[in-house]
Amino acid sequence: MPKRLSNKKNIRDVNVLAAHIVEQATGEPTPKSIAEESTKNPAAVTLGRLGGLKSAKARMEKLTPEQRKEIASNAGRARWASRLYDEIKATQVAALLIELNGGTMDYLKCIKLLYSIEKESLNRWMRPVFYDNLYSMPHGQVVSQTLDRAEYRARIAKSFWSDYIETSIDKSDKKKKTVRLAKKCGIEKLSRAEINLIKEVFELNKDKSPEQLIQEHHNHKLFPEWKDPGNSRIKTEYPYLLNILGKTPEQIKEFDEHLKELGYLKDMAR
């Protein structure tokens, strides 16, 4: 399972950084982490998260000008996250959701659940599952790079996603889109903890309609990070979301440095 970053560890330490890189590459959690994750009560986790979100506005107001400046600076450097997007993992996460739903799923519902998985992974482990760009859009929060691949009209023609997941439009309702599995793509890049998280998010939302999920995204008690973009979109920077999730400025700074290190290493590996 991805390990929570701690401000007690220096991410620049070669051994610590190497461990994070191996975890990102293999997605394999440690036995201890698996044991800890398996003891969590999904309902308790959800209630705890909602309780934390209620005080998000209060935490923002308590920040000093220096802390706000630091978070803004981190947000600027968080562009490294764009280079870390893992399309294969994003596809495998979506494919598992679709499979759990019987082989097809409403397009908007799939995107909303993918966002919830990415957000909860940040909350639990201080790292995303597939490192997508997050945005506020008229219908709520989205995972942008995955959305580009799933969108029927603007989708990227040649991609790992398009090899395994198809998007179709309902002939009787042009606004209704469905994603379905063209063929199985496996789950080998996902850790057991990530698979459990995907199943947990699905179970919590399986009976909700896309319209219900959109309403939830517009509820600031549940998604305080959502900002009304009008007819455009507004990026949700990782540092801003982490602050809403109750992480300290020190944790956010360390997370940002972690992204920067991974971005450098990925560039060097090209």
Which run of H or E residues covers position 105?
Answer: strand 104-106
What is the model's pLDDT at position 105?
A: 96
Q: What is the pLDDT of residue 16?
A: 46
**Cβ partners under 8 Å of residue 134, min gap 6:** 115, 118, 119, 141, 142, 143, 144, 235, 236, 237, 238, 241
Q: Could you please report the per-residue DSSP string of 158-195?
A: SSHHHHHEEEEEETTEEEEEEEEESS----TTS-HHHH
Please indicate whether residue 25 or residue 94 has the higher confidence score (pLDDT): 94
Between 28-37, 42-51, 61-70, 213-222, the lowest mean confidence (pLDDT) is in 28-37
pLDDT of 32: 39
What rounded mean pLDDT belongs to the chain? 79
pLDDT value at 34 more than 60:
no
- 262-268: average pLDDT: 76
pLDDT for position 257: 87
pLDDT of residue 151: 80
Whether pLDDT at 4 is above 60: no
pLDDT digits (tens, 9 = 90+) for 134-163: 999 999 999 999 998 888 555 565 789 989
Contact 244, 53 (CB under 8 A): yes
- Give the pLDDT band of residue 265 (cuts 50, 70, 90): confident
Domain parsing of the chain, residue ranges? 14-269
Residue 112 CA to residue 186 CA, distance in Å, equals 22
Specify the pLDDT at position 187. 95
∠ CA(252), CA(255), CA(260), 5° rounding?
Answer: 125
Indicate the residue type of 149.
Answer: R
Give the tens place of pLDDT for each residue, 55-112: 555 665 666 776 665 555 554 444 555 678 999 999 999 999 999 999 999 999 999 9
**Residue 258 has what pLDDT?**
85
3-class SS of residue 267: helix
Distance CA 145, CA 155 (A): 10
Q: What is the mean pLDDT of residues 121-127?
A: 96
Residue 136 vs residue 42, higher pLDDT: 136
Q: What is the model's pLDDT at position 266?
A: 74
Average pLDDT over residues 256-266: 82
- Which pLDDT tens digit goes with each residue over 178-212? 999 999 999 999 999 999 999 999 999 999 999 99
